Amino acid sequence: MDAPSTSNSSAQQSPSVQMVPQPAPTQGNNPSTAPFLQDFTLIAEAAKRAQMAIMIRDFEDCGLKKMIDYLDQKSTRRII
């Protein structure tokens, strides 16, 4: 009277994990998304320009003149 033991846990899927099939991408030009993509490109360009402006502002203090002045001060201290 030995009945084969089967596990139901492998056959059941957790209710919290559900796979939702994604719609297939349509081929062709979808005119309804074109304005949004154009706006996204403009926003990305503006963000890039803002980042560069901040970097330039932050690195202004690291100019060659200040570096040369700093090295000159160190070299005069050693001589004196």
CA–CA separation, 24 and 69 (whole Å): 63
Residue 22 covered by a domain: no
Q: How many domains, the chain?
A: 1
Residue 9 covered by a domain: no
CA–CA separation, 56 and 49 (whole Å): 10
CA–CA separation, 49 and 60 (whole Å): 16
Residue 10 covered by a domain: no
CA–CA separation, 63 and 57 (whole Å): 11
Residue 66 covered by a domain: yes
Residue 39 covered by a domain: yes
Residue 5 covered by a domain: no
Residue 68 covered by a domain: yes
Q: Which domain holds residue 69?
A: 34-79
Mean pLDDT of the chain: 69
pTM of structure = 0.36
Ranges of residues in the chain with a pLDDT under 50 are 9-11, 13-14
Residue 41 covered by a domain: yes
